[in-house]
């Protein structure tokens, strides 16, 4: 999936989590934080949206870790969750539970790559088994991704209350 698709999917996932009552957070904070988290696993790809910003750091990570290995795994997600929770606890100016939005963004990236990534992800790294949920005919950047993006936009609008009620940032 491309960076924008990861970000749209992340906001859909956070919208679902918030509308289902999993946790409470202002959309004003939750959506951008989830969208940022959705880019994090691709720091291991110098050609990704985040990788291009990180430049040589992303190149170095890619040389040592490869793409879709550790940074696309449950151990990475657990480490991010712990670190995000710790940061959220230590900074009183950060809204409570904002760490969950970031973690959902990272987790949505892994799920998205299991749907659209040609090779799947090594979810249980260091095990080498790759998990892929859809057939390879679902292409990145093609018709399937456009339809997926439209579905994510509709779901985000529905879960955030844009469709069916008045919009609120509270």
pLDDT tens digits, one per residue of 67-87: 788 999 999 999 999 999 999
The pLDDT tens digits for 4-37 are 888 988 988 998 898 888 889 988 899 999 999 9
Q: How many helices and strands in the chain, by DSSP H and E?
A: 7, 0
C-alpha distances (whole Å) from 57 to each of 4, 68, 85 are 22, 16, 25
pLDDT value of residue 10 = 92
Q: How far is CA 136 from the centre of its chain?
A: 21
Residue 154 confidence class, pLDDT cut points 50, 70, 90: confident
pLDDT value of residue 144 = 75
Q: Does residue 167 surpass a pLDDT of 60? A: no
Total length of the chain: 170
Q: Could you give the CA distance from residue 114 to residue 126 in angstroms, rounded to a whole number?
A: 17
Residue 121 pairs in a beta bridge with 131
Q: Does residue 168 surpass a pLDDT of 60? A: no
Residue 156 confidence class, pLDDT cut points 50, 70, 90: confident
pLDDT, mean of residues 134-162: 73
Q: Does residue 166 surpass a pLDDT of 60? A: no
Residue 95: DSSP 8-state: P
Task: Determine phi and psi for 131, rounding to 5 degrees.
Answer: -110, 125
Q: Residue 55, class by beta-carbon neighbours within 10 Å (0-12 exposed, 13-18 middle, 19+ buried)?
A: exposed
């Amino acid at each position: 999936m491309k960076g924008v698709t990861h970000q749209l999917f992340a906001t859909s996932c956070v919208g679902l989590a918030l509308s289902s009552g999993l946790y409470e957070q202002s959309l004003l904070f939750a959506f951008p934080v989830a969208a940022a988290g959705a880019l994090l696993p691709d720091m291991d790809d110098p050609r990704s949206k985040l990788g291009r910003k990180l430049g040589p750091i992303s190149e170095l990570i890619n040389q040592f870790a490869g793409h879709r290995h550790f940074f696309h795994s449950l151990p990475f997600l657990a480490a991010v969750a712990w670190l995000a929770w710790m940061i959220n606890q230590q900074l009183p100016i950060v809204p409570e539970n904002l760490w969950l939005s970031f973690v959902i963004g990272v987790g949505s990236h892994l799920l998205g790559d299991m749907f659209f990534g040609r090779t799947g992800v090594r979810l249980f790294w260091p095990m080498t088994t790759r998990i892929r949920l859809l057939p390879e005919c679902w292409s990145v950047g093609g018709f399937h991704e456009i339809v997926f993006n439209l579905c994510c936009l509709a779901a985000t609008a529905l879960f955030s209350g844009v469709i069916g009620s008045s919009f609120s940032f509270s």
